[in-house]
């Protein structure tokens, strides 16, 4: 098998598992779970098989060894099944496979018992996994687009899965539509690039970039593709779908937030980072990242829903990846992607365990859950510490590298300051969530902390291990690029310490109350995500709906009205004429004779003149 | 090869005779079954057409008929027509099978099957005609049986809908006829292949523009192109399930196929002049249909309007007059036939059970009928153009073809069309949310027989498989089209 075939096998195996899973009868939930898990496990096997091919360290730019067979041809442009892995992208695939496998296992403990629609659920996770893996291995942008959008469809299906939540269907539609708005840009960007480059492979685009000097094309396509990435990665202003997506089952949140979907946007920008340079639009990405990271960290600070806190933190952490891309530190962006994937999956699955015991998402109803649930507590603690970026956890290394890269960048001053502020806020909201969940007294009568069943417990442990260790061994991978800057690191650690201290200090004042109370009236503004949902509704959703109603009315009254009116008009004339022809015998005879006379007269006249 | 070619037309005709024989001997059931068998044989004949695809065209059969009118019995098949021939035979077979197995509303299954076969005969004739006048003859043959299907087996307002359908499209036919005779009298031949090869038979630019305009307006009514679409929602809403499937699945393609083969092929210079207008209307159709669907309250009406949008992409592809655009249009034709055929089948199943298509009264279908709901979800997601399913290729590359023209107008059109694709996602997801999600609506809660029946599985699954196959392996449609489209475009210098 060629490298292309080995790379393509990675998404194909879970895709086959998905197809098989959709055909499993609803009653056979265990079989469905087995099929789904087998799909992810199969992908893991292929993942390691790929390692034996001697992968290059970084993605090759122009490598004919990645060229696959032609999938379809439109005139002189072709879409090809080109695919391949490098060591860098291998790690992205690895985190996808790991998280997907653990999510499948976790779901067995979380949902299987009382969910009638478990079979399609497991199949949809498999399809989701396949789609993300396709994004990772594709060397052809149209092929990538297939994975990209199938992922959107899967997120739609999975977010809307829970029948008990009335808001779930709406959240599902929102997730798909908001990202689809970005995807309009993404598709157009790819099509324009493909047209100019004469093909959709990374190699075609790289060749075009070296040949061409037409900067407008690069600027426009870079912005369009960035729009797609911003939507998928839930960055400002297309981030509004992500907090609502919490309506999905918690394992799905882990899947969407850690390894797939939101990671896809950052990943694509890494792969196309040369285009951002050539189009001179990295400043735009930096601005988007700055707004996203602070805005969402503030929102996380005020949210009471534990899943929302984590959701907002995803927006903020992905913004770090975007920041790294904007200063050209692409390997570092991937490093943070992988580390974030580990600790965010851990946090979401841990939150699932917490929600399972508390029966609610609201932190106001939790507290004191550390006693009786040691595994949940300690693994979550590791997760939160990694999110804050405490040494020697994985999150520490990746965040330091991102901030050092920004610090070293000649125009990175503003970005660095915002990154520091975000690090402070992150420490504050993570500490707050940790304290509100596990410490103090239980705020719900009769709530007893307990660790979950083994299906849910072991994934937490499995994720906690690399969350602790991966950073220490990252030097063995191509992910660790460049050095950490001592000044940058000192400043970051100070910010983190201040953030933790603030949260802890306020919390100690009144252990039953929410530290967020000190935000005063700003709290509701933050918690609502700065009312951007309302803005989006007023500016986009409502005008479109009004337009739709107008279009429907115009279509009925004007367009169809003209057609019906013509019909009625002709019918009316017909009836009038018919009326004229409905006459008694004498008048008929007179008319006939009169007609004959006219004809005879005409004949005579024409005879004379002719 | 010529025997196979002829049999593609003869087999459905024999099927009609078999149904007639059944009725004559008093065994209507046998007639219906025989008709279905002939539809199946016809499908095999259509498949066999591809056995030898080396020539250009693959095969051709010419008999002189009425030379004074330029009418020859001149049929053949090539890459442009083959996918549609197959689609027509395939959908007709599924519809016959569905009818004979499930029964028709109001009975008389054998008559309905005979009419389906007659429609199929006409449609196949259109796709196979290499003669302009013969093309017109077959084009007209389609009209009557479809009129009878709507009028005979339709919903409560079937009279109005069927008359509107017949008169509206008849008006299109008249324009088409005038256009055809402008060409036949001026060029002295009705041979489409010859006219295409000579770039319009030496007609002047002005004549070509006149001819193209007449032909395009006539064909655009069938396609339908905004603002000539308003017969379609009524016809679809009232037509019986199989009528809707054939109407959306194949009948609309008579218009787009005719545009490619006849209008562009025979009057290329006219096409060049009129292309921007056509493209603007196509894009308006995409947006208008998307908006109207977003405010639509009835399931079948919504799907009908969505067809207007999807055909907008096909028309945009044609209007670009590029190889990429025509290829995209032809793939889009097939994809729309499969996806919308499936959607109408599913809408029929929902309406059969819930006795209403009002979105407000549906809801919660996935709780009550998970199989039906799952398939509806699949079809809707395919219809919104998800990459990896059939709808994507035609629509995305129609946009690509517009980008390829590399002029301001075309770039704007590409952007607007791409926005239209997002609109399609909005209305289809709204439809799914109203039909499948949430607590069961009153009409859904009262549904009986929620499981998919064997006849439904048998008729729906081949379509779903087709949607998946074309989506994942688009070359199965694109490969036969191949270079055939460049033959049509050879007179257009670019």
- Checking if the pLDDT of A610 tops 60, the result is no
Residue A149: predicted pLDDT: 92
pLDDT interval class at B414 (50, 70, 90): very high
- Checking if the pLDDT of A540 tops 90, the result is no
Nearest to B388 among A70, A150, A168 (CB): A150
- Alpha-carbon distance of A294 to A423, in angstroms, equals 9
- Checking if the pLDDT of B194 tops 90, the result is no
Residue A63: predicted pLDDT: 67
| DSSP assignment letter at B491 | T
**What is the mean pLDDT of the segment spanning B65-73?**
85
Contacts of B295 in chain A (CB under 8 A): 545, 548-549, 551-552
- Is B327 in contact with A548 (Cβ distance < 8 A)? no
Chain A, chain B: beta-carbon pairs less than 8 Å apart: 141
- Is A191 in contact with B403 (Cβ distance < 8 A)? yes
- Alpha-carbon distance of B339 to B331, in angstroms, equals 12
Q: pLDDT tens, A445-480?
A: 777 878 888 888 899 899 999 888 888 887 777 777
Radius of gyration of chain B (CA): 21
Q: Is B440 helix (H, G, I), strand (E, B) or coil?
A: coil
- The candidate with the shortest Cα–Cα distance to B371, out of B456, B489, B281, is B456
What tokens were used for A473? Answer: 């061994």
Which tops the pLDDT comparison, B253 or A517? B253
What residue in A sits closest to B168 (Cα-Cα)? A563
**What is the mean pLDDT of the segment spanning B422-450?**
86
Q: How many CA atoms lie within 13 A of B318 on its CB side?
A: 35
Distance between B292 CA and the closest CA of chain A, angstroms: 5
- Work out the burial of residue A453: count CB atoms within 10 Å of its CB; fewer than 13 is exposed, 13-18 middle, 19 or more buried: middle
State chain A's mean pLDDT as an integer: 88
Contacts of A547 in chain B (CB under 8 A): 291
- Work out the burial of residue A138: count CB atoms within 10 Å of its CB; fewer than 13 is exposed, 13-18 middle, 19 or more buried: buried
- Is B393 in contact with A72 (Cβ distance < 8 A)? yes
- Is A149 in contact with B327 (Cβ distance < 8 A)? no
Q: How many CA atoms lie within 13 A of A349 on its CB side?
A: 39
- The candidate with the shortest Cα–Cα distance to B477, out of B83, B58, B80, is B83
Q: In this structure, how many other beta carbons lie within 10 angstroms of the beta carbon of residue A443?
A: 16
Contact B336, B310 (CB under 8 A): yes
For residue A516, whether the previous peptide bond is cis, meaning omega lies within 30 degrees of 0, is no
Nearest to B403 among A163, A173, A195 (CB): A195
Q: Is B361 helix (H, G, I), strand (E, B) or coil?
A: helix
- Checking if the pLDDT of B239 tops 70, the result is yes
- Is B294 in contact with A545 (Cβ distance < 8 A)? yes
Cα–Cα–Cα angle for A496, A500, A502, nearest 5°? 115
Contact B92, B129 (CB under 8 A): no
Q: What percentage of chain B exceeds 70 in pLDDT?
A: 99
Radius of gyration of chain A (CA): 31
Find the DSSP H helices in B154-229: 158-187, 192-197, 205-222
Contact A182, B450 (CB under 8 A): no
Q: In this structure, how many other beta carbons lie within 10 angstroms of the beta carbon of residue A16?
A: 16
Distance between B37 CA and the closest CA of chain A, angstroms: 29
- Is B426 in contact with A170 (Cβ distance < 8 A)? no
Pick among B292, B335, B419 to test the A interface (most A CBs inside 10 A): B292
- Checking if the pLDDT of A399 tops 80, the result is yes
Contact A467, A346 (CB under 8 A): yes
pLDDT interval class at B379 (50, 70, 90): very high
Residue B1: predicted pLDDT: 65
**What is the mean pLDDT of the segment spanning A366-383?**
88
Distance between A240 CA and the closest CA of chain B, angstroms: 16
Contacts of A170 in chain B (CB under 8 A): 433
Residue B42: predicted pLDDT: 93
Pairing of strands A70-74, B71-77: unpaired
**What is the mean pLDDT of the segment spanning B24-46?**
91
Contact A49, A19 (CB under 8 A): no
Contacts of A544 in chain B (CB under 8 A): 291, 294, 426
Nearest to B418 among A22, A172, A184 (CB): A184
Q: Is A79 helix (H, G, I), strand (E, B) or coil?
A: strand
Which tops the pLDDT comparison, A517 or A234? A234
| DSSP assignment letter at B358 | B
Distance between B358 CA and the closest CA of chain A, angstroms: 16
Q: What percentage of chain A exceeds 70 in pLDDT?
A: 99
- Is A187 in contact with B421 (Cβ distance < 8 A)? yes
What tokens were used for B359? Answer: 């979105």
Contact B157, B234 (CB under 8 A): yes
What residue in B sits closest to A544 (Cα-Cα)? B291
Phi, psi at residue A70, to the nearest 5°?
-75, 130
Cβ-proximal residues to A148 (8 Å cutoff; 6+ apart), any chain = A131, A135, A183, A186, A228, A232, A264, A268, B387
At what angle are helices B82-102 and B28-48 packed, to 10 degrees? 160
Cβ-proximal residues to B8 (8 Å cutoff; 6+ apart), any chain = B42, B45, B46, B49, B85, B89, B124, B128
Nearest to A150 among B387, B403, B419 (CB): B387
Contacts of B386 in chain A (CB under 8 A): 149-150, 153
- Work out the burial of residue B232: count CB atoms within 10 Å of its CB; fewer than 13 is exposed, 13-18 middle, 19 or more buried: buried
Contact A318, A71 (CB under 8 A): no
Contacts of B296 in chain A (CB under 8 A): 552
Q: Is B75 helix (H, G, I), strand (E, B) or coil?
A: strand
What tokens were used for A102? Answer: 């653990």
Contacts of B323 in chain A (CB under 8 A): 74-76
Which tops the pLDDT comparison, A151 or A530? A151
* b/e per residue A185-212 (b: at least 16 CB within 10 A): bbbbbbbbbbbbbebbbbbbbbbbbeee
Residue B396: predicted pLDDT: 93
Contacts of A181 in chain B (CB under 8 A): 422
Residue B146: predicted pLDDT: 93
Phi, psi at residue B483, to the nearest 5°?
-90, 0
Contacts of A169 in chain B (CB under 8 A): 433, 437-438
**What is the mean pLDDT of the segment spanning A110-131?**
89
Residue A609: predicted pLDDT: 62
Cβ-proximal residues to B132 (8 Å cutoff; 6+ apart), any chain = B70, B180, B183, B184, B190, B191, B192, B195, B262, B266
Contacts of A187 in chain B (CB under 8 A): 396, 399, 418, 421
Which tops the pLDDT comparison, A248 or A224? A224
pLDDT interval class at B394 (50, 70, 90): very high
Residue B112: predicted pLDDT: 92
Distance between B438 CA and the closest CA of chain A, angstroms: 7
- Is B403 in contact with A145 (Cβ distance < 8 A)? no
- Alpha-carbon distance of A163 to A165, in angstroms, equals 6
What residue in B sits closest to A72 (Cα-Cα)? B475
What residue in A sits closest to B297 (Cα-Cα)? A552
- Is A181 in contact with B422 (Cβ distance < 8 A)? yes
Nearest to B415 among A160, A188, A544 (CB): A188
- Checking if the pLDDT of A376 tops 60, the result is yes
- Is A552 in contact with B367 (Cβ distance < 8 A)? no
Nearest to A567 among B167, B388, B437 (CB): B167
HEC profile for B27-74? CHHHHHHHHHHHHHHHHHHHHHHHHCCCCCCCEEEEEEEEHHHCEEEE
- The candidate with the shortest Cα–Cα distance to B141, out of B48, B9, B309, is B9
* pTM summary value: 0.91
Residue A313: predicted pLDDT: 93
- Checking if the pLDDT of A280 tops 90, the result is no
- Checking if the pLDDT of B172 tops 70, the result is yes
Q: pLDDT tens, B447-473?
A: 877 788 888 899 999 999 999 999 999
Residue A608: predicted pLDDT: 65
- Is B296 in contact with A73 (Cβ distance < 8 A)? no
């Amino acid at each position: 098998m060629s490298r292309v075939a080995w790379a393509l096998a990675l998404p194909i195996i879970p895709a086959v598992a998905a197809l098989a899973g959709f055909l499993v009868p609803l009653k056979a939930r265990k079989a469905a779970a087995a099929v789904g898990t087998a799909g992810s496990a199969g992908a893991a096997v292929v993942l390691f098989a790929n390692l034996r091919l001697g992968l290059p360290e970084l993605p090759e730019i122009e490598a004919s060894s990645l060229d696959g067979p032609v999938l379809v041809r439109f005139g002189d442009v072709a879409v090809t099944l080109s695919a391949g892995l490098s060591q860098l992208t291998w790690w992205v695939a690895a985190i996808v496979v790991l998280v997907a496998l653990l999510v499948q296992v976790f779901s067995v403990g979380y949902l299987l018992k009382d969910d009638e629609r478990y079979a399609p659920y497991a199949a949809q996770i498999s399809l989701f996994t396949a789609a993300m893996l396709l994004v990772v291995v594709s060397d052809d942008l149209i092929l990538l687009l297939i994975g990209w959008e199938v992922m959107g469809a899967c997120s739609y299906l999975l977010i809307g899965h829970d029948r008990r939540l009335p808001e779930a269907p709406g959240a599902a539609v929102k997730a798909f539509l908001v990202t689809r708005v970005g995807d309009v840009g993404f598709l157009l960007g790819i099509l324009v690039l493909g047209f100019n480059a004469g093909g959709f492979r990374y190699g075609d685009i790289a060749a075009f970039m070296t040949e061409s000097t037409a900067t407008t094309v690069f600027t426009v396509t870079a912005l369009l593709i960035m729009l797609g990435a911003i939507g998928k990665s839930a960055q400002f202003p297309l981030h509004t779908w992500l907090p609502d997506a919490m309506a999905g089952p918690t394992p799905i949140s882990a899947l969407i937030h850690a390894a797939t979907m939101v990671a896809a946007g950052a990943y694509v920008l890494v792969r196309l980072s040369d285009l951002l340079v050539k189009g001179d639009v990295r400043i735009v990405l930096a601005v988007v990242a700055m707004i996203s990271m602070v805005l969402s960290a503030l929102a996380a600070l005020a949210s009471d829903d534990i899943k929302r806190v984590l959701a907002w933190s995803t927006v903020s952490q992905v913004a770090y990846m975007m920041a790294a891309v904007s200063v050209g530190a692409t390997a570092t962006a991937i490093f943070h992607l992988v580390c974030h994937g580990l600790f965010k999956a851990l946090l979401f699955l841990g939150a699932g365990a917490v929600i399972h015991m508390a029966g609610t998402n609201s932190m106001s109803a939790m507290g004191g859950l550390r006693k009786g649930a040691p595994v949940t507590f300690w693994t979550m603690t590791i997760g939160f510490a990694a999110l804050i970026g405490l040494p020697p956890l994985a999150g520490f290394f990746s965040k330091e590298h991102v901030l050092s890269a920004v610090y070293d960048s000649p125009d990175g001053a503003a970005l660095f300051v915002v990154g520091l502020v975000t690090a402070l806020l992150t420490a504050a909201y993570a500490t707050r969530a940790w304290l509100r969940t596990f410490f103090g007294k239980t705020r719900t009568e009769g709530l007893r902390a307990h660790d979950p069943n083994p299906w849910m417990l072991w994934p937490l442990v499995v994720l906690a291990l690399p969350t602790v260790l991966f950073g220490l061994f990252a030097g063995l991978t191509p992910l660790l690029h460049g050095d950490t800057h001592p000044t940058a690191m000192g400043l970051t650690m100070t910010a983190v310490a201040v953030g933790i201290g603030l949260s802890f200090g306020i919390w100690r004042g009144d252990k039953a109350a929410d530290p967020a109370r000190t935000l005063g009236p700003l709290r509701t503004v933050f918690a609502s995500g700065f009312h951007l949902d309302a803005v989006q509704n007023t500016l986009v959703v409502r005008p479109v709906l009004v337009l739709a109603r107008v279009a429907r009315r115009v279509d009925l009254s004007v367009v169809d009205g003209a057609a019906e009116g013509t019909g009625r008009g002709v019918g009316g004339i017909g009836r009038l004429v018919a009326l004229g022809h409905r006459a008694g015998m004498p008048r008929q005879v007179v008319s006939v004779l009169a007609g004959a006379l006219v004809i005879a007269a005409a004949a005579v006249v024409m005879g004379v003149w002719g | 090869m010529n025997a196979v070619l002829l049999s593609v037309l003869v087999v459905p005709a024999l099927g009609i005779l078999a149904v007639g024989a059944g009725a004559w001997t008093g065994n209507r059931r046998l007639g219906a079954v025989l008709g279905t068998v002939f539809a199946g044989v016809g499908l095999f004949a259509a498949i066999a057409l591809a056995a030898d695809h080396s020539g250009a065209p693959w095969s051709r059969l010419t008999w002189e008929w009425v030379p004074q009118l330029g009418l020859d019995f001149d049929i053949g098949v090539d890459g442009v027509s083959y996918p549609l021939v197959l689609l027509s035979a395939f959908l007709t077979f599924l519809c016959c099978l569905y009818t004979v197995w499930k029964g028709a509303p109001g009975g008389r299954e054998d008559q309905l099957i005979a009419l389906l076969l007659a429609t199929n005969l006409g449609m196949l004739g259109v796709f196979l005609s290499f003669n302009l006048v013969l093309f017109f003859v077959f084009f007209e043959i389609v009209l009557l049986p479809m009129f009878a299907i709507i009028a005979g087996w339709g919903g409560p307002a079937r009279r109005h809908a069927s008359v509107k359908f017949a008169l509206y499209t008849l008006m299109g036919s008249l324009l088409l006829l005038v256009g055809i005779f402008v060409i036949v009298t001026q060029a002295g031949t009705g041979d489409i292949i010859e006219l295409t090869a000579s770039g319009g038979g030496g007609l002047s630019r002005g004549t070509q523009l006149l001819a193209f305009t007449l032909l395009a307006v006539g064909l655009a009514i069938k396609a339908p192109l905004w603002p000539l679409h308003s017969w379609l929602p009524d016809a679809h809403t009232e037509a019986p399930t199989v009528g809707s499937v054939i109407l959306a699945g194949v009948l609309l393609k008579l218009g787009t196929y005719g545009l490619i083969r006849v209008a562009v092929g025979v009057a290329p210079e006219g096409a060049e002049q009129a292309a921007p207008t056509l493209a603007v209307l196509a894009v308006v159709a995409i947006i208008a249909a998307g908006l109207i669907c977003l405010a639509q309250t009835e399931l079948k009406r919504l799907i009908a309007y969505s067809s207007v949008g999807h055909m907008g992409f096909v028309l945009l592809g044609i209007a670009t007059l590029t190889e990429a655009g025509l290829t995209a249009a032809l793939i889009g034709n097939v994809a729309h036939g499969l996806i919308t055929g499936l959607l109408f089948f599913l809408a029929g199943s929902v309406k059969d059970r819930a006795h209403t298509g009002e979105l407000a009264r549906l809801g919660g279908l996935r709780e009550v009928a998970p199989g039906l709901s799952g398939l509806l979800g699949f079809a809707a997601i395919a219809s919104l153009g998800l990459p990896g399913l059939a709808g994507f290729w035609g629509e995305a590359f129609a946009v690509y073809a517009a980008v390829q023209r590399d002029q301001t107008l075309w770039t704007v059109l590409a952007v607007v069309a791409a926005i239209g694709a997002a609109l399609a996602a909005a209305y289809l997801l709204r439809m799914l949310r109203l039909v499948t999600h949430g607590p069961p609506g009153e009409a859904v809660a009262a549904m009986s027989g929620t499981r998919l029946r064997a006849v439904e599985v048998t008729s729906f699954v081949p379509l779903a498989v087709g949607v998946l196959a074309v989506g994942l392996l688009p070359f199965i449609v694109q490969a036969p089209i191949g270079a055939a489209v460049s033959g049509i475009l050879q007179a257009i210098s670019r």
